[in-house]
């Protein structure tokens, strides 16, 4: 990929992080850790990979995105707003009565949201059904899913994983946002899923472990899907929980963040630093 395109994506990812802070300011709290760890995945999807039209969000031929880990909704709302599915002023309603942006996404309230998720272990089955529907119709559309790694303890995921392989859904692409932390501690200590790559492979999936913050690699890898014909693909994306916030990165207690004023100020400063670094890179690239 051209360096200018990559830097543009990085700039978009920064905007999405700023949108996440805007949501937290409005709602005074939110599931920030997993939202920030998956910013680059959603940026790559919504600004490069997904075949979508914000002006026509129900266009039948669109690709679908299913946020199985519905508590990461802050990143979904932020990406949709950034992509133009709705006005950014809506972000300021987060937490308000009757807000179109509930604490877990609702497809009936907001354009661009495809599923009502929040209860874990539902998204992969729903996405599988979408992918099967596209296969029946011989449609080229693809279905993308973001799951949390803690979510993988839900047994229903593995029902869906079996069925997706059995029905040869090679139009189904999953990202496991492996930020390695859940509410009670490190995910592998709470309920180990290791060896995760072998586990998925044994269910009949193509598996690739990637850096979930490297958008160039994400885009390159997704463009090679299906990695094996007839098999669904899972990218195990190694990420850092709360990525971008210096005081919260990799810390378990920022799964859900009730933002203190001084923390919010620090968060803003952290993003300002990222912006300055990015500006320098852009100038270096002649942008």
Partner 1 sequence: MKDPRVTFGEAVVEAAMENQNVIVLSADSSSGSGLGDFLKKFPERHFEFGIMEQGIMGFASGLATTGKIPVFAAIAPFVTARPFEMFRNDLGYMNQNVKVVGRCVGLTYDTLGSTHHSIDDVAIIRTIPGVTILNPGDPVTIKKAVHAMIEHKGPCYLKIGSPKMPVLYPEDVDFKLGKGIVIQEGTDVVLIGTGTVLSKAVAAAKLLEEAGVSVRLIDMHTLKPIDRELVLAAAREIGKIVTVEEHFLAGGLGSIIAEICSQECPARMKMIGIDDLYASNGPYEELIGKYGLQPEQIKETVIKFLST
Residues that bind partner 1 (CB under 8 A): 60, 64, 106-108, 114-119, 122-134, 136-137, 139, 143, 155-156, 159-160, 162-163, 166-167
User: What is the smallest separation between the CB atom of 146 and partner 1, expressed in angstroms?
Assistant: 15
User: What is the smallest separation between the CB atom of 164 and partner 1, expressed in angstroms?
Assistant: 9
**Tokens 């839900």 found at:** 154
User: What is the smallest separation between the CB atom of 167 and partner 1, expressed in angstroms?
Assistant: 7
User: What is the smallest separation between the CB atom of 186 and partner 1, expressed in angstroms?
Assistant: 27
Q: What are phi and psi of 209, to 5 degrees?
A: -90, 130
Residues 6 or more apart whose Cβ sits within 8 Å of residue 154: 120, 121
DSSP β-ladder status, 185-186 and 181-182: antiparallel
User: Which is nearer to partner 1, 133 or 185 (by Cβ)?
Assistant: 133
User: Which is nearer to partner 1, 96 or 119 (by Cβ)?
Assistant: 119
User: Which is nearer to partner 1, 93 or 162 (by Cβ)?
Assistant: 162
Per DSSP, the three-state class of 135 is helix
User: Which is nearer to partner 1, 93 or 116 (by Cβ)?
Assistant: 116
- Residues 43, 192: Cα–Cα separation, whole Å: 29
**Tokens 């859904």 found at:** 169
User: Which is nearer to partner 1, 158 or 256 (by Cβ)?
Assistant: 158
Nearest to 205 by CA among 232, 227, 224, 178: 232
User: What is the smallest separation between the CB atom of 209 and partner 1, expressed in angstroms?
Assistant: 25
Nearest to 33 by CA among 71, 68, 90: 71
């Amino acid at each position: 990929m051209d360096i200018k395109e990559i830097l543009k994506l990085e700039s978009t990812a920064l905007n999405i992080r700023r949108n996440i802070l805007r949501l937290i300011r409005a709602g005074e709290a939110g599931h920030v850790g997993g939202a920030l760890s998956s910013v680059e995945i959603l940026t790559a999807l919504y600004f490069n990979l997904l075949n979508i039209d914000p002006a026509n969000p129900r266009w039948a031929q669109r690709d679908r995105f299913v946020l199985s880990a519905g508590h990461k909704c802050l990143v979904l709302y932020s990406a949709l707003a950034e992509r133009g599915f709705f006005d950014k002023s809506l972000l300021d309603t987060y937490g308000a009565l009757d807000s179109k942006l509930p604490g877990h996404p609702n497809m009936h309230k907001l354009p661009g949201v495809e599923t009502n998720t929040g209860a874990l272990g539902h998204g992969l089955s729903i996405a599988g059904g979408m992918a099967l529907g596209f296969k029946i119709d011989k449609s080229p559309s693809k279905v993308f899913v973001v799951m949390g790694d803690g979510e993988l303890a839900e047994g229903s995921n593995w029902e869906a994983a079996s069925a997706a392989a059995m029905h040869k859904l090679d139009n189904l692409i999953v990202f496991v946002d492996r930020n390695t932390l859940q509410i009670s501690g490190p995910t592998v200590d709470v309920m180990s899923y290791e060896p995760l790559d072998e586990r998925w492979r044994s269910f009949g999936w193509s598996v690739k472990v990637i850096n979930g913050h490297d958008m160039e690699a994400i885009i390159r890898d997704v463009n090679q899907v299906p990695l094996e014909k007839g098999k669904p693909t899972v990218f195990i994306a190694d990420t850092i929980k709360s990525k971008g916030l210096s005081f919260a990165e990799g810390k378990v207690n920022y799964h859900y963040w009730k933002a203190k004023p001084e923390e919010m100020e620090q968060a803003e400063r952290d993003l300002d630093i990222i912006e300055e670094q990015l500006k320098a890179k852009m100038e270096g690239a002649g942008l």
